[in-house]
């Protein structure tokens, strides 16, 4: 684990970097912020924005989860990740300066969570070198999610209170894979990760710059892709669990019945 002095030094560097990044973004007439769950395609989006000369901080949590994650890192003797410091620096700017454009993504929850576990296995107590144990950990989590039908709770805990958008009431264009919202203090573009490759013109229009997407940080193409593939091959769930996971009411706001049926077939036990 990290010693306290080393943690302090790492966090100081990250905070200084975050302060510069947020300041650069808010020097633009219309700042752009990527605000989304982890492992929804945000790194691909961030890279495309950077290549087009758009300074766009990427954050994941602006509400209560932000403080919870900070406590978890502290309790484990780990420095807070870079996005934590972006979040700290960004919050006071929202509503106090130019009206930003917020880009957000939604991804089907089973694939997203499996990828997220590999991104930060220490936060889940996972040993990703043990494929069956890791798959079992995910199975247990999905059973819990199925009971509560809250697989897309990020939108209720984060996006909705942060910008006053009631996604269930406002709706989403499932076929097109995106929708724009005029929110409290920001314009929000919400995209479906599964449709991202075809939405370059939509994002380009939203940010006012031509963008080209090239997939980045794809979990199956990283150094641990063998372990990741092994877990995905073992991760199969009972249909009743999948029906509960995909029973979150927001699933049918974002995805059509055919899409959901395909997700169930992808992850269901034989």
Q: How many CA atoms lie within 13 A of 149 on its CB side?
A: 10
Q: Give the pair of three-digit tokens for residue 33.
A: 């912020």
- Write down the pTM of the prediction: 0.91
Q: Please state the separation of Cα 148 from the chain's center in Å.
A: 20
**What pLDDT is stored for residue 219 in this prediction?**
47
**What pLDDT is stored for residue 40 in this prediction?**
95
Which DSSP letter does residue 35 get?
E
Q: Please state the separation of Cα 194 from the chain's center in Å.
A: 13
pLDDT above 60: residue 220: no
For residues 228 and 138, is the Cβ–Cβ distance under 8 A? no
Which DSSP letter does residue 192 get?
E
pLDDT in tens, 17-58: 999 999 999 999 999 999 999 999 999 999 999 999 999 999
Mean pLDDT for the stretch of residues 151-168: 94
pLDDT in tens, 74-99: 888 889 999 999 999 999 999 887 99
Mean pLDDT for the stretch of residues 120-126: 72
Exposure b/e, 123-159, CB count within 10 A at least 16 = b = ebebebeebeebbebbbeebeebbeebbbbebbbebb
Tell me how long the chain is.
270
Which of 60-64, 176-180, 205-209, 214-218 is predicted least confidently? 214-218
Q: What's the whole-number average pLDDT of the chain?
A: 90
Whose CA is closest to 14, among 57, 64, 45, 56? 57
pLDDT in tens, 230-262: 888 889 999 999 999 999 999 999 999 999 999
pLDDT in tens, 196-212: 989 999 999 999 999 98
**What pLDDT is stored for residue 95 in this prediction?**
83
pLDDT above 60: residue 160: yes
């Amino acid at each position: 684990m990290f010693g306290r002095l080393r943690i302090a030094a790492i966090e100081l560097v990250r905070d200084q970097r975050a302060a510069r990044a947020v300041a650069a973004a808010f020097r633009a007439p219309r700042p752009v912020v990527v605000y989304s769950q982890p492992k929804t395609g945000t790194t691909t989006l961030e890279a495309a924005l950077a290549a087009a000369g758009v300074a766009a901080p990427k954050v994941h949590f602006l509400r209560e989860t932000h403080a919870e994650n900070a406590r978890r890192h502290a309790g484990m003797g780990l420095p807070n990740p870079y996005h934590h410091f972006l979040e700290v620096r960004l919050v006071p700017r929202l509503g106090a300066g130019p009206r930003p454009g917020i880009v957000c993504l939604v991804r089907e929850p089973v694939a997203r969570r499996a990828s997220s576990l590999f991104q930060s296995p220490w936060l889940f107590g996972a040993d990703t070198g043990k494929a069956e144990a890791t798959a079992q950990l995910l199975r247990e989590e999905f059973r819990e999610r199925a009971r509560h039908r809250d697989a897309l709770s990020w939108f209720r805990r984060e996006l909705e209170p942060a910008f006053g958008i009631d996604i269930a009431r406002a709706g989403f264009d499932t076929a097109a894979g995106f929708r724009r919202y005029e929110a409290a203090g920001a314009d929000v573009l919400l995209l479906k990760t599964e449709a991202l490759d075809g939405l370059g013109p939509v994002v380009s229009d939203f940010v006012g710059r031509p963008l080209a997407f090239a997939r980045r940080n794809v979990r199956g193409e990283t150094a641990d892709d063998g372990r990741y593939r092994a877990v995905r091959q073992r991760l199969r769930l009972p249909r009743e669990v999948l029906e509960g996971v995909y029973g979150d009411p927001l699933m049918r706001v974002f995805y059509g019945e055919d899409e959901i049926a395909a997700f169930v077939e992808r992850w269901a036990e034989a």
